Amino acid sequence: MAALAMSLPFTVSAQKAENYKVVKVQGEIQRVKTGNVLSIGEDVVSNENLNFKSNYSRAVVVNKDKGCMILSANYDNGGPQFMPSPNNLSVRAALPAQPSEVLEFFDGNVAITGYDSLKIDDDKLMIGDDSYFTVNFEANGQKVNEKLTLRNGKLALPESVLKNKPEKVEVCYNDEFGVSNKSEFTPVYINDEVLKEELNVIFNTLKGKKDSKVSASVNFVNDFYGKTTPVSVESWINNNIK
């Protein structure tokens, strides 16, 4: 995520007290009372005086009733903002049914967990020997070209993306007439141990059903890493958090 220009420290305070746990901090947010900075797993109260050290400082915090929220400075009214996720992609209105919709997903920053797949409408988006998606990238001076596989309605990135860790990946749709359309994404490679620590804060705070925890986790990954899908995050959780 692009960092905005640095600004002078900004001190804010909230009026209504609510308790949150810190999941992740971007930039630096300082407690005015102690001078300590917020860090993962700590408690923060919404009426606490906080010093946002730059205008890109923000945090994901979680509340047992509200779920995950984005904590950032509100420069209009002199108080902090506790806002819902701006990238709530955990529930799609419709599955991708056109090649353009798949290419739109694979554009910009995309989180790479090792379990990365996208559910599609495979009744409408026909994938086969003549119509298929490929990834193209360079690794160790060699060009790699591999198909995305379709299994149980899920279009999956090949393991070679995670193995080779290219900086840019091109996704190409090839149809039966030889027409090719492309998009390009920046892979964001997630450290398993770091993500495990972050998601454990969410899981330990949310005492509801697993679906709520997965939904909150999907939103968190979307907000702070890159595009992902519920099936990718749930697969990662099932293999990394017991």
The 10s digit of each residue's pLDDT in 67-95 is 899 999 877 766 678 888 776 544 445 78
What does each C-alpha distance from 81 to 15, 85, 96, 215 come to in angstroms?
11, 12, 33, 21
Helix (H, G, I), strand (E, B) or coil at 197: helix
Confidence (pLDDT) at 67: 87
- pLDDT digit string (tens) for 142-173? 999 999 999 999 999 999 999 999 999 999 99
What are the beta bridge partners of residue 74? Answer: 79
> d(Cα 62, Cα 206) in Å, to the nearest integer?
8
pLDDT of 17 above 50: yes
Residue 179 pLDDT grade (very low, low, confident, very high; cuts 50, 70, 90)? confident
> d(Cα 121, Cα 220) in Å, to the nearest integer?
25
Taking alpha carbons only, the member of 59, 107, 101, 86 closest to residue 219 is: 86
Looking up tokens 């353009």 gives 100
The CB-side HSE value for 129 (13 A sphere, CA atoms) comes to: 0
